[in-house]
Amino acid sequence: MARRTENKPSRGVQKMAMLGCTSRGSLIGSGTQPDKAMESRIQRVREAFASGRSRPLRFRLQQLEALRRMVQEREKDILGAIAADLCKSELNAYSQELITILGELDLVLENLPEWVTAKPAKKNLLTMLDEVYVQPEPLGVVLIIGAWNYPFVITMQPLIGAIAAGNAVIIKPSELCEKTAKVLAELLPQYLDQDLYVVINGGVQETTELLKQRFDHILYTGSTAVGKIIMEAAAKHLTPVTLELGGKSPCYVDRDCDLDVACRRIAWGKYMNCGQTCIAPDYVLCEPSLQNDIVQKIKETVKEFYGENIKESPDYERIINLRHFKRIQSLLEGQKIAFGGETDEATRYIAPTVLTDVDPQTKVMQEEIFGPILPIVPVRDADEAIKFINNREKPLAFYVFSRNDKLIRRMIDSTSSGGVTANDVIMHFTLSSLPFGGVGSSGMGAYHGKHSFDTFSHQRPCLLKSLKREGANKLRYPPNSQSKVNWAKFFILKRFNRGKLGLLFLAVLGVMVAVLLKRSGHNPRGPSVERAEYSRPVAVWLMVPDRFRKCANLWFKSLRVGVPGWLSRLNV
């Protein structure tokens, strides 16, 4: 009798199951055998992309317009889903998510015709008569894995860029925001091409199966631990990835700053969405003398923002689930709580909290907090703060508050992070003109605005030559010689732009006139002036570097046109 074998989950699935749920994003693992049903779904999307209908500019604009209509017409459905998933007021959901998407759509719709246009590239002498340009083209079928902390904007913003670049897209929302994921699955097919843009909902197993498939790009937002698994799965197909991860984003408060303003802005960024923001200030670095003042001012600000009874404030959210609640609660153990610290497991409430005199070796300083706890770590000065930051993994964001512009520049130049905001927090995320992404363990690649379009595009170099002028190609055909090498240096190493092509035309015209004058014997300036002086091609000398002027001299001599001594010695 054959022995019964047990189907065991892959090591990746087992590892992620032990983690329970990532700090952001979906639970995933990498198995071995792809699911045929999932494979078939992805293949249908790939066939839709192969049809070519996602490429025309007009189609892309139509899809983006449809996406804007969806946000405007189904605003209540979207806001209701976000509010239900995150205990978030509809006003907060609109200001934190929908307004960003509408702004991104306006930007892309306005600028996409320019972005898709081929850009001319510089030429050398060998290609001066050819057409040379860089043409953005879509990558193919891309996978976007969203996160739960901002389930709409983090999923939709990269989708806008992928559509703008002409790709087909598989969208995987976070299963932790069930209502938002369901709304996306219902609404997107009503407004977008159903074959090119497909939503796949589900948990660990579905995402695991997705990662077995071949994609042309993967963009993932979530934890560093899961980001590594994403990258490992992508490597099997040589798929490029954009990873927006996280980390501990430091905030340095200089003694020379407006503490009232600084603490108000820090409190806003830290406690927004109950601290569940990837670029929230994770901890504060300051001189010991500032610590008590910062605590007091943040305490006053929290009261100003959320009232006496924070639990009842419609502007203060809750922790996403019980597992995260217990993880964040455990970070308070053994810490000096300056204010806050109240918790309610039944409602997953954790009050805005500040910790003082925090030991850098304690647990709260060893992992991304991703909750409403703000540790303050005293440092002697800015130099010690720089050293403290540089001794840790590169963060997703860095914040510095100071009136001293030189200090701000020095701290920026002396550290590394995904992004920087001075005298505020989080606001660099709101600018679509700035790339958003991490560095090192906080991520790789970037998106937002034009940067999203570039991320999801291949910059295709194009050189269009004629079948004529074959004589010029003899330089590269065998047999080789030193003379050919010398000419190749001149023709290939010399770059051209349109302005210099005009100078070249004038130079050639000048030489031709000089030759004609020499042959005709015409000299309107009299016999005292050498006819050769009419051959002064100053434009050529402006274009030819020193190392090639011998070649230029030979060229002129071959035309029997002399080069005046004063010109050959001219240093231009």
Torsion, Cα 547 549 550 554, to 10 degrees, reads 150
Write phi, then psi, for 50 (nearest 5 degrees).
-65, -20
Give the strand pairing for 141-145 and 217-221: parallel
As given in the structure block, the two tokens for residue 480 are: 């080789």
Task: Write out the DSSP string of 266-314.
Answer: HHHHHHGGGG--TTS--EEEE-GGGHHHHHHHHHHHHHHHH-S-GGG-T
Tell me if 396 sits within 8 A of 249, measured CB to CB: yes
- Is the pLDDT higher at 16 or at 330? 330
Tell me if 172 sits within 8 A of 144, measured CB to CB: yes
The β-bridge partners of 464 are 131
User: What does the alpha-carbon distance between residue 224 and residue 230 come to, in Å, rounded to a whole number?
Assistant: 10
**According to the model, what pLDDT value does residue 534 have?**
42
Q: Which helix (H) or strand (E) holds 376?
A: strand 373-378
As given in the structure block, the two tokens for residue 467 are: 């079948």
pLDDT at 386 over 70: yes
User: What does the alpha-carbon distance between residue 462 and residue 477 come to, in Å, rounded to a whole number?
Assistant: 22
The pLDDT tens digits of the residues spanning 222-274 come to 999 999 999 999 999 999 999 999 999 999 999 999 999 999 999 999 999 99
Strands (E) in 23-128, as ranges, are: 119-120, 123-124
User: What does the alpha-carbon distance between residue 507 and residue 541 come to, in Å, rounded to a whole number?
Assistant: 9
**According to the model, what pLDDT value does residue 518 have?**
61
As given in the structure block, the two tokens for residue 514 are: 């000089």
In this structure, of 7-16, 58-67, 103-112, the range with the lowest mean pLDDT score is: 7-16
Fold exhibited by the domain 250-430:
Aldehyde Dehydrogenase; Chain A, domain 2 (3.40.309)
**According to the model, what pLDDT value does residue 2 have?**
37
Query: In the chain, pLDDT over 70 holds for what percent of residues?
Result: 80
Find, among 125, 121, 129, the residue nearest to 490 by Cα. 125
Find, among 136, 132, 114, the residue nearest to 501 by Cα. 132
User: What does the alpha-carbon distance between residue 280 and residue 84 come to, in Å, rounded to a whole number?
Assistant: 23
User: What does the alpha-carbon distance between residue 17 and residue 185 come to, in Å, rounded to a whole number?
Assistant: 25
Tell me if 452 sits within 8 A of 431, measured CB to CB: no
The pLDDT tens digits of the residues spanning 126-144 come to 888 899 999 999 999 999 9
Write phi, then psi, for 418 (nearest 5 degrees).
-60, -45
**According to the model, what pLDDT value does residue 488 have?**
79
Please count the other Cβ atoms lying within 10 Å of the Cβ belonging to residue 4. 5
pLDDT at 10 over 70: no
Q: Which residue has the tokens 């970037």?
A: 446
Tell me how many degrees the CA angle 375-18-346 measures, rounded to the nearest 5. Answer: 55
User: What does the alpha-carbon distance between residue 107 and residue 109 come to, in Å, rounded to a whole number?
Assistant: 6
Tell me if 444 sits within 8 A of 437, measured CB to CB: yes
**According to the model, what pLDDT value does residue 531 have?**
42
3-state secondary structure 452-498: HHHHCEEEEEEEECCCCCHHHHHHCCCCCCHHHHHHHHHHHHCEECH
- Is the pLDDT higher at 19 or at 175? 175
The pLDDT tens digits of the residues spanning 196-214 come to 999 999 998 899 999 999 9
Residue 380 Ramachandran class (φ > 0 left, ψ -120 to 50 alpha, else beta): alpha
**According to the model, what pLDDT value does residue 471 have?**
81
DSSP 8-state class, residue 336: E
Sequence ranges of the chain with CATH classification 3.40.309.10: 250-430
One-letter amino acid at 321 equals N
pLDDT at 491 over 90: no
Which residues form the catalytic set?
A: 244
Which CATH class name applies to 38-245+453-459? alpha beta
Q: Cα separations (Å) of 214 from 38, 75, 132, 418?
A: 11, 34, 32, 28
The pLDDT tens digits of the residues spanning 263-314 come to 999 999 999 999 999 999 999 999 999 999 999 999 999 999 999 999 999 9
Q: Which residue has the tokens 């972005």?
A: 115
As given in the structure block, the two tokens for residue 529 are: 């002036």
Residue 220 Ramachandran class (φ > 0 left, ψ -120 to 50 alpha, else beta): beta
120 prior amide bond cis, ω within 30: no
Please count the other Cβ atoms lying within 10 Å of the Cβ belonging to residue 36. 9
The β-bridge partners of 242 are 219
Sequence ranges of the chain with CATH classification 3.40.605.10: 38-245+453-459
